[in-house]
Amino acid sequence: MANGTIAANLKTFYEEGTTKSNKGIWSWLLSTDHKRIGLMYLGAIAIFFSVAAILGVLMRLELIAPGETIMEAQTYNSIFTLHGVIMIFLFIIPGLPAVFGNFFLPLQIGAMDVAFPRLNLLSFWIYIVGAILVLVSLILPGGPIDTGWTFYIPYSVRSGTNISLAIFAAFVLGFSSILTGLNFVTTIHRMRAPGMGWFKMPLFVWATYATAWIQIIATPVIGITILLVILERMFGVGIFDPALGGDPILFQHLFWIYSHPAVYIMILPAMGVVSEIIPTFARRTIFGYRAIAMSSLAIAFVGYLVWAHHMFTSGMSDTARIIFSLLTFIVALPSGVKVFNWVATMYKGSIDPKPPFLWVMSFIVLFSIGGLTGLVLGALATDIHLHDTYFVVAHFHYVMFGGTGTIFFAALYYWFPKMFGRMYNIKVANWGVGLFFVAFNLLYFPKFIMGYLGMPRRYYDYLQEFSSWHLISTVGSWVMLIALILVIGNIVYSIFKGEKCSSNPWGGVTLEWHTQSPPPLLNFQEIPTVKHEPYDFSQLEEMKNES
Amino acid sequence: MDNQEHKNEHEHHITPYSTYVYVWLGLIALTSITVTIAGISLGDYTLAVALLIAAVKSYLVINIFMHIKYEELIFKVFLILSGLTLLVIFALTFFDFTYR
C-alpha cells in the first residue's frame, strides 16, 4: 500500500509521549496521543466488563434453583439492572470505537493522530466522570437502581432508588460518545493519507465512519429523554407519567429512537473488524468491498427506522406495528450482504486459522443465530408470544456478546502484536476460543428454549418445569468464567511477559502493518502514500523490503 | 476565480449587528405567536402549527446565529441529512400517535 514507511529504530509511543515527562502516571492521564487514550479506554473497559460479567455469574447462581438461593429479590433486581447498565453504557457502546477506533483509525488512514487530540482526551475523561457517577449512585442512600437498563416509565418515575443520578450518568456518557463520533468523522474526512480515496479506506474505517454518524445524530435523543425523566421525577411535569396526563409510550419511543441505533453503534465496528481479519487470514482480497462499505451506511441509515420493534406489545397503534415490522425485515438485508461477502472471501482462500480468525469464525456462527432469531422477534405474530421472555434475552446475548463481545476479543487478539510489540501464547489462545464457544452455547442456548416455553425475563423465581434448563445455563456460566479467565489472562500475561514479535506477524497489508510495533508517537516516519487497493496482498513482497 | 472569491468572502464575512437584532426580534415574535396559539384551539392543526413555527425558528438560528449560511457546502449537506433523519423519525412516530 505504501512505500518507505517503516522506521528502523524510532522511539515507540511508550517511550515518547505528548506530555513534558515521558514517564509516570501523568504522562498517561494527560496524554493526547490517540494510542495512549485507546489503551486507557482498554484498561477502564476491561475493569467494567469484568465487574459486569461477575454480576452476570451471580445472577445465574441465584437462578440455579427455584426460590431464594443466594440473594433477595430486591438485590436481584439491582444486579440485573447493573449488569445491563454497565455492559451497555460502559462496555459495549464505547468498546470497539473507543479502544480500537482510537488506536487504529489514524493508523489505518495514515494520519499522525485524530483531528482533535485534546477533544479526544476530554471524551475519555467525560467517560470516566460518567462511570464514577454510576458508581456513586450505587452507594448513596436510596440504593442501586432496579428498573432494568431501559428505565421504563412509569416505574422509573416512582421507584425510590437513585434513578436520577444513575440516568444522569448515562447522559454524561452520551457526551463522550458524541465527541468521539465528531472526532472520527472529521478525522476521516480531513486526515486521510495522500492517495487514500474513499474507496481505498480499510473497511474498519468505513464501519467506524458509519458508527460515528449514529453517535452524533442519535445520542442527543437519549440525552433529552433522560433530562425529561429527571424533570418528571423532581417536579412531576407530566410528560410521561400517565397519572399526570403524560404518555408512557412516548418515553419508549424516545428511548428506542436512540437505543436501537445504539445497537448498531455496538455491532457496526465489530463488522468492520471482521472485514479486516478475514482477508488477512484467507490471504485473499475482500469479496465485494463496495457492497460491504455501503452496507455499513445502509445499516446505519435503516437502523434509525426500526426502533419501535421493541414496542410491539406496548399498546402502540396497529399501523405503526405493521410498518415497523416491515422495516425491521429490511435491515436484515445489508446484514446478510455482509455475511455472504465474508463467506465468499474465504472461498478458495489460503486460510491460516490463527486465533483472531477462529474468533471471527465463532462470531459468524453466533451472530447468524442471533440475527436470524431477530427475525423471529421482528415478525409481529411470533413477537406477541416471545416478547419479554428468555428468547429475547438469548437473542440479544447472541448478537451483543456473541457478536460484538466475540469481536472485541478478535480485535484484541488481531491487533495485540501491533499494540504491545509482543505475542501471546497461541496454543492457550486457541483453547480459549474453543472453550468460549462451547460455554457460550451452554449458557445462552437453553434460554431460547426456555423463552419459547414461556419463561419471562427478569423474573427472580420460576416454575419447577424450567429448572433443568436453568441448571444447564448456570453450569454454562461457570465454564464461561473459566474461558474468560483463560482469554483475558493470556492477554494480561503477554503484555508483560509475551515474546517480542515482528512488526507484521500476520502478514496484514493495511497501513497499520506498514509501521513498526509498537508504533512511534507520530505513527509513521513519514506520512505514507497509498498506491494499492486496501486488501491487495501482492504488496507483501514490497513490504518485506520496507523493513 | 469564482471559487477564490467565494473563499475570501467566506473568510471575511462579518454579519452586521443590525441583522442579529432583527433575527432576535423575529425569534421573539415567533415565540409569542407560539404562546398565543397555545391558547387557541386549532384541533388537529395545533401540533403542525407549533412544529412549523419551531422549524422556522431553527432555520433562522442555524443560518444566521450559527453562520451556516456562509459555510461550505459539505456542512449544509450534513445538516440537511441530520434534519431529514429527524423528519423521518417524527413521521414514523406519528404512525403510532395518529392511528392509536
Q: What is the DSSP string of A441-509?
A: HHHHHHHHHHHHHT-BTT-S---GGGHHHHHHHHHHHHHHHHHHHHHHHHHHHHHHHPEE--S-TT---
User: Which of B81, B95, B98 is the mutation pick for testing A, counting most A CBs within 10 A?
Assistant: B95
Interface of B with A in 60-89 (CB under 8 A): 74, 82, 85, 88-89
Chain B nearest-CA distance from A477, in A, is: 39
A-B CB pairs within 8 A amount to 37
Across the interface, whether the CB atoms of A320 and B89 are under 8 A apart is answered no
A328 Cβ contact partners less than 8 Å away, ≥ 6 residues apart: A306, A309, A374, A375, A378
User: Which of B74, B79, B92, B99 is the mutation pick for testing A, counting most A CBs within 10 A?
Assistant: B92
Burial of A125 (0-12, 13-18, 19+ CB in 10 A): middle
Question: Could you give the 3-state DSSP secondary structure of residue A196?
Answer: coil
The answer to whether the beta carbons of residues A1 and A509 sit under 8 Å apart is yes
Domain assignments of chain A as residue spans, ordered by start:
26-546
For the beta carbon of residue A68, count every other beta carbon within 10 angstroms: 12
State ipTM.
0.80
Across the interface, whether the CB atoms of A324 and B98 are under 8 A apart is answered no
Q: What is the pLDDT of residues A292-303, one digit of tens each?
A: 999 998 998 888
Q: What is the pLDDT of residues B40-97, one digit of tens each?
A: 888 878 888 988 999 999 999 999 998 888 888 988 998 898 888 888 998 999 999 8
Question: Could you give the 3-state DSSP secondary structure of residue A12?
Answer: strand
Across the interface, whether the CB atoms of A308 and B96 are under 8 A apart is answered yes
Q: Are strands A499-500 and A422-423 parallel, antiparallel or unpaired?
A: antiparallel
Of the pLDDT bands very low, low, confident and very high (cuts 50, 70, 90), residue B15 is confident
Across the interface, whether the CB atoms of A319 and B95 are under 8 A apart is answered yes
Nearest to B99 among A217, A257, A319 (CB): A319
The answer, for B15 touching chain A at a CB cutoff of 8 Å, is no
The answer, for B97 touching chain A at a CB cutoff of 8 Å, is yes
Chain A residues whose CB is inside 8 A of the B85 CB are 217, 304
Q: For the whole model, what pTM was predicted?
A: 0.92
Chain B residues whose CB is inside 8 A of the A222 CB are none
- The runs of H, that is alpha helices, within A16-92 are 26-29, 34-62, 73-85
Residue B5 has pLDDT above 90, yes or no: no
Chain A nearest-CA distance from B100, in A, is: 4
- The cell for A392 is 429475547
In whole angstroms, give the CA distance from residue B13 to residue B34.
Answer: 33
Per DSSP, chain B holds a count of helices (H) and strands (E) of: 4, 0
Chain B nearest-CA distance from A316, in A, is: 6
- pLDDT, residue A5, reads 46
In this prediction, the residues of chain A whose per-residue pLDDT falls under 70 are 1-8, 546-547
- pLDDT, residue A253, reads 95
User: Which chain A residues have any C-beta within 8 angstroms of a chain B C-beta?
Assistant: 189, 216-217, 249, 253, 257, 304-305, 308, 315-320, 323-324
- pLDDT, residue A541, reads 82
Chain B nearest-CA distance from A297, in A, is: 13
Chain A residues whose CB is inside 8 A of the B89 CB are 257, 304
Across the interface, whether the CB atoms of B96 and A257 are under 8 A apart is answered no
The answer to whether the beta carbons of residues A431 and A485 sit under 8 Å apart is no
Chain B nearest-CA distance from A80, in A, is: 30
Chain B residues whose CB is inside 8 A of the A217 CB are 82, 85
In our burial notation (b when 16+ CB lie closer than 10 A, e otherwise), range A456-483 reads: ebebbebeeebeebbebbbbbbebbbeb
The answer, for B95 touching chain A at a CB cutoff of 8 Å, is yes
Single out the residue of A99, A104, A113 nearest to residue A517, CA to CA. A104
Closest-approach residue (CA) in chain B for A316: B96
Q: Give the start-end residues of each E strand in A302-458.
A: 422-423
Domain A26-546 has CATH 3.40.50.720: no
Chain A nearest-CA distance from B90, in A, is: 10
The overall longest dimension of chain A from CA atoms, in Å, is 73
Q: What is the CA radius of gyration of chain B?
A: 18
The answer, for B100 touching chain A at a CB cutoff of 8 Å, is yes
